[in-house]
Structure 1
């Protein structure tokens, strides 16, 4: 009786697993098709945008046209400067804050940490007007610093590093204290090296977000000399010149290539770090 009852359940589980895999493959295909179509248009002449030929001639003309249509060199430089500034500030501020929340006891600690977590629930677009007013009063409009200033402290980074620091045994603090290390030296020599995979994962998340961020840089910048890549791509959607999808695809591939390469290089560290932190 028990064996007979278990057979239908086993078949049902196999059927459910099959349906799950089929759904995953279907979603994967739906996600990959637009990307493949974009790559196709980028490496082929404009006449192949709406028709497919297996042995159509490849060309790099779209990439040259995209590079010459806008100051991409300046856009790349602005983007790298922006992301580097934000990432360095986030690492310093988030590390110090996470270490304080993980290892020190002070009045209002729980309340302050709850306020940090509340920031995770606030969309950046909600603060757009107030951030612009603040930046304008500081006289920083249309500068790279203005684009990065609202993001130099990250609630997600503080939370992620705090969870990691809590898993480090306190005996390491005692050992470092015996060796004569102060709090900052302990943080630099003990906690930061042990949390290196977390820094890699958070760095990829932060870089990906700010690399693709459009709304705030669009609002706060006015000139070509300060615009990042995301804002610079708008030049290809000019209604006067028409929309050239092959050139847009080439420009999009150029801007997304560094992110894709970075993720492929650090994919293992990215996944393992979140698993160690207990975050899904």
Structure 2
């Protein structure tokens, strides 16, 4: 049975449509411009010819294959490090008692309030002292630990009954075995939800990779995309939008194919 159309419900639905249109209009413009010749950048014609030339020119104007490899390596490396390190930290906060536990966890929460841009200079100096400037490792290393992941996993681990700990320990399972065989399988929805956030963030991250890299061999997609804004021939929106769609296509396609799993993972993880 459908809920009644109360004024509040109508207002919420109208607000949802308004937000959807605000998000869709720029995307629709980008798709229109990318698939049509340059003379249709600023005007609409119902039977305007379609073309893939803009994508061919954009792909040939930059080494996108290398940028894709760099980005995939980056997001995979960062996510793997975050899940391993943050799972260990969250398990310690959820199940162990040790001096300074509350203070350390408070510091983890404080990290959530610190803007990453504040740490750019310090992080750059650290990467320089380690000899890692202009490397993929330098892009990802400052993000190997995530306060957000530790907080989410700790909250999930605390819901696991301690009787499972006792049963596993009686069977001779070590603490690492307990984490891997009991806690990690139960926390898969939370890990998937965080993984989506992490991959999306590092796929689209721009400022830090721009600062720490200077060569094609280490640049991710977002930094490579910036070259289209500095061409000598002026702004060619058809090429820029085509390059933008090439960059964002994997995330859009992934979301459209697995949107049901995405939503379910967030609901099971309890993320509001």
Superposition TM-score, scaled by structure 2 size: 0.95
Question: Structure 1, residues 180-231: CA drift from partner, whole Å, max 9, x if none?
Answer: 2111111111111111111111111000000000000000011111110000
Moved over 3 A (4+): none
Report the Cα offset of residue 154 of structure 1. Answer: 0.5
SS at structure 2 position matched to 1:92: helix
* Partner residue, 2:266: 274
Task: Give the distance between the partners of 2:54 and 2:78, measured in 1 at CA.
Answer: 32
1:53 to 6, 24, 45: 45
> 1:164-243 to 2 correspondence within 5 Å?
164-243=156-235
Larger mean CA deviation between 210-219 and 232-241 belongs to 232-241
Question: Structure 1, residues 128-177: CA drift from partner, whole Å, max 9, x if none?
Answer: 00000111111111011111110011000100111111111111111211
* Partner residue, 1:138: 130
Contact persistence 2:189–2:269 (CA under 8 A): no
Aligned-residue Cα RMSD (Å) equals: 1.4
Task: Give the distance between the partners of 1:168 and 1:233, measured in 2 at CA.
Answer: 45
Structure 2 unpaired stretches of 5+: none
Report the Cα offset of residue 266 of structure 1. Answer: 3.5
Report the Cα offset of residue 238 of structure 1. Answer: 1.4
SS at structure 2 position matched to 1:171: helix
* Partner residue, 2:34: 42
Task: Give the distance between the partners of 1:41 and 1:234, measured in 2 at CA.
Answer: 18
Task: Give the distance between the partners of 1:209 and 1:126, measured in 2 at CA.
Answer: 17
1:122 to 106, 114, 126: 114
Structure 1 unpaired stretches of 5+: 1-10
Task: Give the distance between the partners of 2:174 and 2:201, measured in 1 at CA.
Answer: 35
Aligned length: 269
SS at structure 2 position matched to 1:107: coil
Q: Which has the larger radius of gyration?
A: 1
Task: Give the distance between the partners of 2:106 and 2:8, measured in 1 at CA.
Answer: 40
Contact persistence 1:197–1:270 (CA under 8 A): no
* Partner residue, 2:148: 156
